Amino acid sequence: MYQKYEMDLAGRKLVVDVNRVGKQANGCAFMHYGDTTVLCTATASEKPREGIDFFPLSVEYEEKMYAAVKIPGGFNKREGKASENAILTSRVIDRPMRPLFPKDYRNDVTLNNMVMSVDPECRPELVAMIGAAIATCISDIPFDGPCAMTQMGLIDGELIVNPSQKQWKEGDLNLTVASTREKVIMIEAGANEVPEAKMIEAIYKAHEINQTIIAFIDKIVSEVGKKKHEYTSCAIPAEMFEEMKKIVTPEQMEEAVFTDEKQVREENIRQITEKLEEAFAENEEWLAILGEAVYQYEKKTVRKMILKDHKRPDGREITQIRPLAAEVDIIPRVHGSAMFTRGQTQICNVCTLAPLSEAQRIDGLDENEVTKRYMHHYNFPSYSVGETKPSRGPGRREIGHGALAERALIPVLPSEDEFPYAIRTVSETFESNGSTSMASTCASCMSLMAAGVPIKKMVAGISCGLVTGDTDEDFVLLTDIQGLEDFFGDMDFKVTGTTEGITAIQMDIKIHGLTRPIVEGAIARCREARLFIMDNCMKPAIAAPRPEVGKYAPKIISLQIDPERIGDVVGQRGKTINEIIARTGVKIDITDDGMVSICGTDKEMMEKAQDMVKIIVTDFEEGQIFKGKVVSIKEFGAFIEFAPGKEGMVHISKIAKERINRVEDVLTLGDNVTVVCLGKDKMGRISFSMKDVAQQ
């Protein structure tokens, strides 16, 4: 039976329709927030997927272009693969919800969120996040919810709950916080150097709002929620662990995993696995799950040693950062390059500069066409972790890591007026053993400075890990986690920023939430570590942006013209601007407000193009000197082209000081001449003189 639920959320009405549509899904919530409408469904397979050792959860966020009353661009005219925004939104929904499903659950689960209408005052991403939680909570799929999400903005120092699209873009903070009843379970943020104290205030204001949403979800579940279905547990049998400990003692496992060389550790585990395979050769059931069992044994060993003895696998102190190294200009001829190394994590970043016309155009649900002037792309080849597999292009992880590093640098980039370039940085992962996204942030910052991009401040990033015990007070924070501590730990808390404040946060956890002391401790630990990285690694390599772009980078001259004269520069069907480009070899971009950017590598040709534009947009006055070319000869004089599409006439009497009988006696077609403007003749043509030039 169709039921409708409403609540007031940040001054707007949130409406949830249950049993109105999507009745064959395990759970369905038809969400309305203002005029934003999102259909959220949760479905699960009846049986577990065989032969896997992970929970097969898929989260989809579908952007239907009709939601923004648009027809998709391109030839196909239908939605294609997911946009980067859709992928990033899917990841933000996935990260807080995944830990709340049972750890031994292996049934396929899909959370689908389809955006059907967009109200600029109500961001569809937020509606999808809440809707996915509601659809799962009211379904029969096992889920330890509810959870809720709130977004926070910051404008003129004031925190805004669930900001509009405009406020989200223009404010100093883009913060998304997910919570359970007691704890924060996910944080995602982009910020304009927001101080740590202000960030914590915003996080816990969002946490308070989440409690009102959770109460709302509880009411819905109490009335229409389905009983959770039974499922086949894929947990490792306790008796198997006991037998394993007899063959490989905890002391032997500890010796195998506690080394700072990833390859050595992997070889040790391989040998242990072979030993256990021989021991369990007659037990096919145990052999089938041996890989997962060894992983769990290794995990318990690492967690125990960190939590009880504060002993890390590579022997570092709890707050110690791995060995650091940085250098710039390692790739010749590119506009900027840098390499950042932290332990066995190594990133090479390359910066490319181009005219603003090369900015990326995004066909999304925004009511206006959006462009990205700064693009950061991240690549993670298999060789970086010693594996072999074909490259299939960037996956969701690569897109997410690239977006995080991109978000980290945006607040310190110069404005388009200050630096009229489109900028692309690409992070190539040479080696990976933990927090490559944070290494990408450091490498990108140095690469930008090496390219001569006048960034306002240096940005660095670091990740903080966590191992928890049986109580909320029993935990250990780990600075600069390596891969093993990420896999076996409870948290990957990434923070980037300047000396003044935070520029980005991304928090992933595997447990049911974090207490406030953990959140505050992680943020403080990350600040201390990023300042250390700047002072002891990045600044010795390159302390400030270079004063100008490199010799291989395109140069740009900018000039402002009257917007009313743009048509004069462009000419009929682009004839004038194309002629300037053909003569000088430059690239010219003109914005609607009359900003002209001339891009090229030949300074002389760029200045020539600039002079042409200035001539075209200048009102002609008597006494101005021009250089031009003879393009036509008549009995009464010659026509001089002094700019593309601009001609004036020199009367035969104004060609030479002495009297001449024929124009051809002095001039021929193609001659380059210098003339002075005499104003306009009776026919409205520009009149020139050659003989009077010396008098000017």
The secondary structure element, H or E, covering residue 397 is helix 396-409
* DSSP-derived 3-state class of residue 190: strand
247: pLDDT confidence band, cut at 50, 70 and 90? very high
Does the structure show a pLDDT above 70 at 369? no
Does the structure show a pLDDT above 90 at 627? no
Does the structure show a pLDDT above 90 at 241? no
Please state, in angstroms and rounded to a whole number, the distance separating the CA atoms of residues 521 and 511.
Answer: 17
Query: What's the whole-number mean pLDDT along residues 101-111?
Result: 95
For the domain covering 555-617, report its CATH number: 3.30.1370.10
Query: Are residues 448 and 426 in contact, defined by beta-carbon separation less than 8 angstroms?
Result: no
| Domain boundaries along the sequence of the chain | 3-150+196-224, 238-309, 324-467+517-541, 555-617, 625-695
Q: Identical fold at 3-150+196-224 and 324-467+517-541?
A: yes
> Which tokens belong to 485?
């501590």
Per-residue H/E/C for 110-129: EEEEEEEECECCECHHHHHH
Please state, in angstroms and rounded to a whole number, the distance separating the CA atoms of residues 132 and 327.
Answer: 45
User: Angle at the Cα of 50 (from 48 to 56), degrees rounded to 5?
Assistant: 60
What are the C-alpha distances in Å from 198 to residues 174, 194, 501, 523, 636?
13, 7, 9, 12, 78
The pLDDT > 90 percentage for the chain reads: 64
367: pLDDT confidence band, cut at 50, 70 and 90? low
pLDDT at 374: 97
Query: What's the whole-number mean pLDDT along residues 273-288?
Result: 88
pLDDT at 75: 79
Residue (of 148, 90, 151, 98) closest to 115 by Cα position: 90
pLDDT at 694: 65
Does the structure show a pLDDT above 60 at 170? yes
Query: What's the whole-number mean pLDDT along residues 548-566?
Result: 90
368: pLDDT confidence band, cut at 50, 70 and 90? low
Residue (of 627, 567, 564, 569) closest to 598 by Cα position: 569
Arithmetic mean of pLDDT over the chain: 92
Q: List, for residues 327-337, the tens digit of each pLDDT value.
A: 999 999 999 99
What are the C-alpha distances in Å from 81 to residues 59, 65, 77, 496?
14, 13, 13, 30
Query: Are residues 15 and 38 in contact, defined by beta-carbon separation less than 8 angstroms?
Result: no
Query: What's the whole-number mean pLDDT along residues 483-491?
Result: 91
pTM of the model: 0.87
| Domain made up of 3-150+196-224: CATH architecture | 2-Layer Sandwich (3.30)
Query: Are residues 363 and 72 in contact, defined by beta-carbon separation less than 8 angstroms?
Result: yes
List alpha helices for 98-195, DSSP H.
124-138, 165-170
Stronger pLDDT, 129 or 310, i.e. the higher one: 129
Lowest mean pLDDT among 371-385, 395-409, 458-472, 564-578: 564-578
93: pLDDT confidence band, cut at 50, 70 and 90? very high
Q: Where are the beta strands (DSSP E) in 156-281?
A: 158-161, 173-179, 184-194
Does the structure show a pLDDT above 60 at 696? no
In the chain, the N- to C-terminal Cα span, in Å, equals: 91
Classify residue 307 as exposed, middle or buried by CB count within 10 Å of its CB (0-12, 13-18, 19+): middle
* DSSP-derived 3-state class of residue 438: helix
Contacts of 273-282 spanning 24+ positions with Cβ under 8 A: 275/247, 275/248, 276/244, 276/247, 276/248, 279/243, 279/247, 280/243
List alpha helices for 562-662, DSSP H.
566-570, 575-584, 603-617
pLDDT at 263: 85
Does the structure show a pLDDT above 90 at 150? yes
Does the structure show a pLDDT above 80 at 681? no
Query: Are residues 492 and 465 in contact, defined by beta-carbon separation less than 8 angstroms?
Result: yes
Please state, in angstroms and rounded to a whole number, the distance separating the CA atoms of residues 360 and 503.
Answer: 22
Lowest mean pLDDT among 60-64, 123-127, 154-158, 617-621: 617-621
Helices 262-279 & 238-247, crossing angle to 10 degrees?
110
- The domain 625-695 is classified under which CATH number: 3.10.129.10, 2.40.50.140, 3.40.190.10, 3.30.420.40? 2.40.50.140
pLDDT at 558: 87
Classify residue 376 as exposed, middle or buried by CB count within 10 Å of its CB (0-12, 13-18, 19+): buried
pLDDT at 620: 72
Stronger pLDDT, 682 or 29, i.e. the higher one: 29
- Phi/psi at 383 (5° precision): -65, -20
Classify residue 336 as exposed, middle or buried by CB count within 10 Å of its CB (0-12, 13-18, 19+): buried
Helices 262-279 & 250-257, crossing angle to 10 degrees?
150
Please state, in angstroms and rounded to a whole number, the distance separating the CA atoms of residues 84 and 403.
Answer: 9
324-467+517-541: in CATH 3.30.230.70: yes
Query: What's the whole-number mean pLDDT along residues 610-630?
Result: 83
Query: Which residue is associated with the tokens 């022997």?
Result: 315
Does the structure show a pLDDT above 60 at 695? no
73: pLDDT confidence band, cut at 50, 70 and 90? confident
What's at 272, amino acid-wise? Answer: I
Query: What's the whole-number mean pLDDT along residues 268-275?
Result: 91
pLDDT at 202: 97
Q: List, for residues 410-448, the tens digit of each pLDDT value.
A: 999 999 889 989 999 999 999 999 899 999 999 999 999
Going by DSSP bridges, is the β-strand pair 491-497/595-600 parallel, antiparallel, or unpaired?
unpaired
